[in-house]
């Protein structure tokens, strides 16, 4: 590549940042012309291109790029040492190209109108409304757990493989589309991540690859939570980026699934977030609610907790801090805490659409 072209690409990185920042002030424009416009063609193209392939193209791509980067540093180490400025410029070229592709292929969705606008709801932080909702959730979760096991103390064992859970997630979107047509999902591309073990050590349940538009799920996650995470990652794929919003979408597609195991997973998922919120604000109330939950449900929660404890390590907080910074840099001011803000949307949604 000619030096002049390299310089143009490298130094276009900073105007790109300013342009994206400027566009962030116009969510209606992003919604109309990108999220509901250009992005729809991009995502359908990539899903059609990659969806039929049984393994993650994105993970293979990341592997290749990592190997290439290591090889480049090793073979060019003397040149890098002698001409660090030249190396930094090359790095800036790569960063500039990656930033452009990221935003065009998916990243601008961070600045679209929130899903609450499309649903016609607003975040509700009324504590009395939350308590009423939690009591309803406890009844629903207990009811389905008992129906599945005939024993309030028995753990629910989801009898599906990961691939079956993917198929049922797609069925769930077909059901959800009838209620909320804007959440339509076509040309599915949802897969187990080849990096499921590293994801487990990093504390992640899945991710959307923005460069190949594949919804990636940590294949080691217990089935009890796998279904909701699948719905969550597809929520990213159809164009919603905020974590609280895709948590809501993951819940909705799972609770509207015809399969009773999915409904159980959804209610237990929503209940866990709500209980966590209550515990942080009113531990006495939390302790009074806990005995009302069937011990079989609590065993499912313990199963999930045991899974994450198995992979706990000293590097996990580092990866969480990096992801937290990434979210804040992309219009999610609450960072990782934005996940738990789904509670405000859940309460509001079920005031409009009662359980």
Boundary-marking domain end, from 51, 84, 111: 111
Q: What is the mean pLDDT of residues 68-73?
A: 87
Q: Are residues 50 and 152 in the same domain?
A: no
Q: Which two tokens stand for residue 339?
A: 């996940």
Query: For residues 92 and 14, is the Cβ–Cβ distance under 8 A?
Result: no
Query: For residues 187 and 213, is the Cβ–Cβ distance under 8 A?
Result: no
Q: Are residues 64 and 153 in the same domain?
A: no
Q: Are residues 203 and 276 in the same domain?
A: yes
Q: Which two tokens stand for residue 43?
A: 């995502």
Tens-place pLDDT, residues 329-339: 666 666 556 55
Q: Are residues 207 and 94 in the same domain?
A: no
Tell me how far apart the alpha carbons of residues 111 and 35 are, in angstroms, rounded to a whole number.
Answer: 9
What is the pLDDT confidence band of residue 126, given thresholds at 50, 70 and 90?
Answer: confident
β pairing state of 214-217 and 206-209: antiparallel
Q: What is the mean pLDDT of residues 56-76?
A: 90
Q: Which two tokens stand for residue 194?
A: 């080849």
| Nearest C-alpha neighbor of 251 from the set 237, 236, 270 | 270
Q: Are residues 16 and 128 in the same domain?
A: no
- From residue 10, alpha-carbon distances to 73, 94, 100, 122 in Å are 19, 8, 11, 42
- Residue 53 CA from chain centroid, whole number: 21
Tell me how far apart the alpha carbons of residues 192 and 271 are, in angstroms, rounded to a whole number.
Answer: 26
Q: Are residues 101 and 126 in the same domain?
A: no
Q: Is the pTM of this model over 0.85?
A: yes
Q: Are residues 149 and 23 in the same domain?
A: no
With a pLDDT cut of 90, the percent of the chain lying above it is: 75
- From residue 2, alpha-carbon distances to 6, 59, 223 in Å are 6, 31, 52
Q: Are residues 280 and 234 in the same domain?
A: yes
Boundary-marking domain end, from 60, 78, 111: 111
Q: Are residues 22 and 140 in the same domain?
A: no
Q: 207 - beta bridge partners?
A: 216
Count of the separate structural domains present in the chain: 2
For residue 329, the enclosing domain spans 118-352
β pairing state of 206-209 and 190-192: unpaired
Q: Are residues 103 and 237 in the same domain?
A: no
Reduced to 3 states, what is the DSSP secondary structure of residue 51?
A: coil
Boundary-marking domain end, from 111, 137, 171: 111
Per-residue pLDDT, 340:
64
Tell me how far apart the alpha carbons of residues 214 and 193 are, in angstroms, rounded to a whole number.
Answer: 10
In the chain, which residue ranges form alpha helices assigned H by DSSP? 3-11, 13-23, 27-29, 39-50, 57-75, 77-82, 84-105, 115-119, 127-149, 162-179, 196-202, 223-237, 243-255, 260-281, 283-289, 295-310, 316-329, 342-352
Q: Which two tokens stand for residue 148?
A: 């599945």
Q: Are residues 99 and 37 in the same domain?
A: yes
What is the pLDDT confidence band of residue 307, given thresholds at 50, 70 and 90?
Answer: very high
Per-residue pLDDT, 316:
65
Q: Which two tokens stand for residue 115?
A: 């899903």
Per-residue pLDDT, 91:
84
Q: Are residues 134 and 102 in the same domain?
A: no
Query: For residues 168 and 259, is the Cβ–Cβ distance under 8 A?
Result: yes
Determine how many CB atoms are found less than 10 A away from the CB of residue 229.
Answer: 25
Q: Which two tokens stand for residue 334?
A: 């609450």
């Amino acid at each position: 590549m000619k030096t002049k072209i390299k310089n143009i690409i490298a130094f276009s990185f900073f105007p790109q940042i300013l342009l994206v920042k400027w566009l962030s002030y116009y969510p209606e424009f992003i919604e109309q012309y990108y999220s509901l416009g250009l992005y729809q063609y991009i995502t359908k193209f990539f899903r059609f291109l990659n969806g039929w392939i049984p393994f993650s193209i994105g993970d293979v791509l990341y592997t290749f790029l990592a190997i290439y980067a290591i090889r480049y540093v090793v073979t060019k180490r003397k040149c890098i040492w002698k001409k660090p400025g030249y190396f930094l410029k090359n790095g800036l070229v790569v960063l500039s190209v990656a930033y452009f592709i990221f935003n065009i292929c998916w990243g601008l969705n961070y600045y679209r109108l929130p899903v609450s606008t499309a649903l016609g709801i607003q975040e509700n932080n009324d504590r009395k409304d939350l308590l009423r909702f939690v009591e309803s959730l406890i009844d629903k979760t207990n009811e389905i757990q008992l129906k599945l096991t005939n024993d309030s103390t028995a753990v629910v064992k989801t009898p599906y493989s990961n691939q079956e859970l993917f198929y049922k997630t797609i069925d769930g979107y077909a059901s959800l589309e009838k209620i909320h047509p804007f959440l339509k999902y076509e040309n599915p591309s949802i897969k187990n991540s080849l990096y499921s073990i590293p994801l487990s050590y990093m504390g992640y349940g899945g991710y959307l690859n923005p460069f190949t538009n594949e919804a990636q799920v940590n294949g080691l996650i217990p089935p009890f939570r796998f279904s909701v995470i699948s719905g969550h990652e597809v929520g990213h794929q159809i164009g919603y980026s905020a974590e609280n919003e895709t948590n809501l979408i993951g819940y909705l597609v799972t609770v509207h699934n015809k399969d009773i195991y999915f409904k159980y997973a959804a209610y237990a998922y929503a209940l866990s977030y709500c209980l966590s919120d209550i515990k942080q604000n009113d531990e006495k109330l939390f302790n009074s609610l806990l005995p009302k939950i069937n011990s079989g449900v609590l065993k499912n929660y313990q199963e999930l907790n045991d899974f994450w404890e198995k992979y706990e390590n000293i590097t996990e907080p580092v990866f969480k801090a990096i992801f937290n910074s990434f979210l804040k840099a992309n219009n999610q001011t609450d960072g990782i805490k934005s996940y738990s803000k789904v509670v405000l949307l859940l309460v509001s949604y079920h005031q409009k659409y009662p359980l």
